[in-house]
A and B are shown apart, each in its own frame.
Chain A
Amino acid sequence: MWQMVGRRETGRLPPHKFRALLQKTRLYSIELAGHKEIASAHKSGVNSLQQIDATEARYLLSGAADGSVAVYDIEQATAYDHSTRTSKHEALFMVDKRVLNGHLYSVSCVHWYPIDTGIFVTGSFDNFVNVWDTNTTQVELQFNMSKKVYSLSMSTLATTHMLIATGTDDTRIRLCDIASGAFTHTLSGHRDSVWVVQWSTRSEWVLVSGGCDGAIRFWDIRRAGCYQILDQQCSQIGRRPPVLKKSSRTHGREDNLCTKYLNASSPIRQRGQKRSFGISAVDSRTAHYGSVAGLQMTADGLHMISAGTDSRLRLWDVESGCNTLVNYPSTYIRGNKGIQMAVTPDSSLVFTPSLNAILVYDVWSGHSYSSLRGHYDQVNCCAFHPQGQELYTGSNDRKILVWAPRRPIDIDNFDYEDAEQAIKADEDAWSD
Chain B
Amino acid sequence: MMKKRDLKSLYSWAGSIVASSTPKKTEKRAKREQSATSEVESLAQDSHQGSYEKEADGFTVPSDTAVALRMIHGQFPKIDKVSVPPFVLISQVYSIVKDRTLVDRELEVMKQDKDVRVFKLSTGQDDFAIMFFDDYVSQVNAIKSRLDGKHPSEDLVIFDWYINHILPIHMDAGITDFHLESILSGVGHQIQERHISLLIKAGLLVRQLAHERSYWLAIPNIGSLLKSLSQGRKELLSLLNRRQYKEVLLSILEKKKLRMSQLDMRFHVRDLLGSGQLFLSHTPAGILVRIPRD
Specify whether A and B are partners. Answer: yes
- What does the 1/0 interface line of A238-274 toward B look like (CB < 8 Å)? 1000000000000001000101011100000000000
Within the complex, which residue of B94, B104, B126, B182 is in contact with A262, where a contact is CB–CB below 8 Å?
B182
Of the listed stretches A130-138, A321-329, A406-414, chain B binds: A321-329
Max count, chain A CB within 10 A of own CB: residue among B103, B105, B172 = B105
Cβ of A306 within 8 Å of any chain B Cβ, yes or no, is no
Q: Give the residues in chain A near B125, CB-CB below 8 Å.
A: 289-290, 310-311
Q: Give the residues in chain A near B109, CB-CB below 8 Å.
A: 237, 253, 257
Within 8 A of A (CB), among B221-277: 276
Within the complex, which residue of A253, A262, A330, A365 is in contact with B101, where a contact is CB–CB below 8 Å?
A365
Let me know if A311 and B126 touch, CB within 8 A.
yes
Q: Give the residues in chain B near A284, CB-CB below 8 Å.
A: 176, 211, 214
Cβ of B183 within 8 Å of any chain A Cβ, yes or no, is yes
Let me know if A262 and B108 touch, CB within 8 A.
no
Let me know if A262 and B179 touch, CB within 8 A.
yes
Max count, chain A CB within 10 A of own CB: residue among B100, B176, B178, B183 = B100
Let me know if A257 and B176 touch, CB within 8 A.
no
Let me know if A329 and B276 touch, CB within 8 A.
yes
Complex Cα spacing A262 to B180, Å: 10
Cβ of A235 within 8 Å of any chain B Cβ, yes or no, is yes
Of all chain B residues, the one with the shortest Cβ separation from A191 is: B211
Q: Give the residues in chain A near B191, CB-CB below 8 Å.
A: none
- What does the 1/0 interface line of A316-340 toward B look like (CB < 8 Å)? 0000000001110110000000000
Let me know if B108 and A237 touch, CB within 8 A.
yes
Cβ of B171 within 8 Å of any chain A Cβ, yes or no, is yes
Let me know if B100 and A366 touch, CB within 8 A.
yes
Within the complex, which residue of A262, A289, A327 is in contact with B100, where a contact is CB–CB below 8 Å?
A327
Cβ of B112 within 8 Å of any chain A Cβ, yes or no, is yes
Cβ of A370 within 8 Å of any chain B Cβ, yes or no, is no
Of all chain A residues, the one with the shortest Cβ separation from B181 is: A262
Cβ of A233 within 8 Å of any chain B Cβ, yes or no, is yes
Interface range on chain A: under 10, 10 to 19, 20 to 34, or 35 or more?
20 to 34
Cβ of B186 within 8 Å of any chain A Cβ, yes or no, is yes
Q: Give the residues in chain A near B101, CB-CB below 8 Å.
A: 325-327, 365-366
Q: Give the residues in chain B near A261, CB-CB below 8 Å.
A: 179
Complex Cα spacing A376 to B216, Å: 39
Chain B binding site: helix, strand, loop or mixed by DSSP? helix
Of all chain A residues, the one with the shortest Cβ separation from B274 is: A329
Distance in Å: Cβ of A380 to nearest Cβ of chain B: 19
Of all chain B residues, the one with the shortest Cβ separation from A364 is: B101
Let me know if A310 and B126 touch, CB within 8 A.
yes
Of all chain B residues, the one with the shortest Cβ separation from A309 is: B125
Of all chain A residues, the one with the shortest Cβ separation from B125 is: A310
Let me know if B172 and A233 touch, CB within 8 A.
yes
Let me know if B276 and A238 touch, CB within 8 A.
no
Q: Give the residues in chain B near A262, CB-CB below 8 Å.
A: 169, 179, 182-183, 186
Within 8 A of A (CB), among B175-193: 176, 178-179, 182-183, 186
Complex Cα spacing A365 to B105, Å: 12
Q: Give the residues in chain A near B94, CB-CB below 8 Å.
A: 329
Complex Cα spacing A329 to B112, Å: 24
Complex Cα spacing A329 to B93, Å: 14
Within the complex, which residue of B112, B172, B182 is in contact with A257, where a contact is CB–CB below 8 Å?
B112
Distance in Å: Cβ of B129 to nearest Cβ of chain A: 16
Let me know if A259 and B103 touch, CB within 8 A.
no
Of all chain A residues, the one with the shortest Cβ separation from B183 is: A262
Q: Give the residues in chain A near B100, CB-CB below 8 Å.
A: 327, 329, 366
Complex Cα spacing A354 to B126, Å: 17
Distance in Å: Cβ of B100 to nearest Cβ of chain A: 4
Let me know if A263 and B179 touch, CB within 8 A.
yes
Distance in Å: Cβ of B106 to nearest Cβ of chain A: 9
- What does the 1/0 interface line of B160-177 toward A look like (CB < 8 Å)? 000000000101100010
Max count, chain A CB within 10 A of own CB: residue among B101, B103, B108 = B101
Complex Cα spacing A377 to B214, Å: 38
Complex Cα spacing A365 to B171, Å: 25
Complex Cα spacing A253 to B112, Å: 10
Of all chain A residues, the one with the shortest Cβ separation from B176 is: A284
Q: Give the residues in chain A near B211, CB-CB below 8 Å.
A: 284
Of all chain B residues, the one with the shortest Cβ separation from A282 is: B178
Complex Cα spacing A284 to B101, Å: 26
Within 8 A of A (CB), among B108-135: 108-109, 112, 125-126
Q: Give the residues in chain A near B276, CB-CB below 8 Å.
A: 329-330
Q: Decide: A233 near B171, CB < 8 A? Known: A262-B183, A263-B182.
A: yes
Complex Cα spacing A137 to B240, Å: 57
Let me know if A257 and B126 touch, CB within 8 A.
no
Distance in Å: Cβ of B126 to nearest Cβ of chain A: 7
5 interchain pairs (CB within 8 A)?
A257-B112, A259-B171, A284-B211, A290-B125, A311-B125
**A residues with CB within 8 A of B:** 233, 235, 237-238, 253, 257, 259, 261-263, 284, 289-290, 310-312, 325-327, 329-330, 365-366
Please provide the 8 A-B residue pairs with the shortest distance between their CB atoms, ordered closest to farther.
A327-B100, A325-B104, A262-B182, A366-B101, A233-B172, A327-B101, A330-B276, A326-B101
| Beyond known contacts A253-B109, A310-B126, A365-B99: 14 more, CB 8 A cutoff | A233-B172, A237-B105, A237-B108, A262-B169, A262-B179, A284-B176, A284-B211, A290-B125, A312-B126, A327-B101, A327-B104, A329-B94, A329-B276, A330-B276
